[in-house]
Amino acid sequence: KAGVTQTPRYLIKTRGQQVTLSCSPISGHRSVSWYQQTPGQGLQFLFEYFSETQRNKGNFPGRFSGRQFSNSRSEMNVSTLELGDSALYLCASSYGLAGETQYFGPGTRLLVL
Amino acid sequence: AQKVTQAQTEISVVEKEDVTLDCVYETRDTTYYLFWYKQPPSGELVFLIRRNSFDEQNEISGRYSWNFQKSTSSFNFTITASQVVDSAVYFCALSEGVASARQLTFGSGTQLTVLP
């Protein structure tokens, strides 16, 4: 099976802009979770989508949003970018069961100038 | 609230040495899951192992072994006869035992450098 794919891999934006990141899960997986990784805060959970519904959300401002499509592909959007949003954004997919292993994609490196 | 602590920020060893990466967790749940992931410089998190709270049996996979002790809330990872290719950041993570709260809580990671 093909792994989790994320596009784009690298992105440079300026403050105030918005950005959309995409994640295609492993075939058959219905759950997609997003994580932000920064040197200062480490790996932090953003949100999880399961069957097109947001099932869980981390402690991030409303500028961070996401959605999931019927084919389980997911997008996350960050509006009004701030310098502190510069990070590696990782998505992970799984079938959606409790305690199940989540498989990660290669990530999108976002740089906000 | 859940918490995972990886007290070792950086470890440097010479090839063929054994190395143990420590992980201590906190949770009030009786059902929970523990994971180890490896992150090479490319950035992708690579899954290594998953353990549930009811299975304290230690596991060995090639040069890798894991020691899970509920009494000390620890889930340590040992690499035997380390190799340069083992150089990476290693993360320990914890998740609850319910589908509605599946998010992973990660430790801060341990940077392992294996010198030739």
Alpha-carbon gap, residue B96 to A101, rounded angstroms: 12
Inter-chain contact B44–A104, Cβ cutoff 8 Å? yes
Percent of the residues in chain A that have a pLDDT greater than 90, as a whole number: 94
Average pLDDT over chain A, rounded to an integer: 96
Give me the half-sphere count of Cα atoms (radius 13 Å) on the Cβ side of residue A65.
7
Alpha-carbon gap, residue A10 to B63, rounded angstroms: 34
Q: Cβ–Cβ contacts within 10 Å for residue A93, how many?
A: 26
Given a cut of 80, whether residue A98 has pLDDT beyond it is yes
Alpha-carbon gap, residue B90 to B40, rounded angstroms: 9
Using a CB–CB cutoff of 8 Å, tell me whether A83 touches chain B: no
For residue A18, give both structure tokens.
């918005």
Nearest CA in chain A to B92: A43
pLDDT per residue as tens digits for the range A57-66: 999 999 999 9
Alpha-carbon gap, residue A46 to A88, rounded angstroms: 12
What is the average pLDDT across B32-60? 93
Three-state secondary structure call for residue B45: coil
User: What is the Rg, in whole angstroms, of the alpha carbon atoms belonging to chain A?
Assistant: 13
Residue with tokens 């420590």: B22
The torsion of the CA quartet B9, B15, B18, B23, rounded to 10 degrees, works out to 20
Inter-chain contact A45–B103, Cβ cutoff 8 Å? yes
Inter-chain contact A45–B105, Cβ cutoff 8 Å? yes
Contact B102, A100 (CB under 8 A): yes
Given a cut of 80, whether residue B47 has pLDDT beyond it is yes
Given a cut of 80, whether residue B100 has pLDDT beyond it is no
pLDDT per residue as tens digits for the range A74-84: 999 999 999 99
The B-side interface with A (CB below 8 A) comprises 31-33, 35, 37, 42-47, 50, 52, 91, 93, 95-109
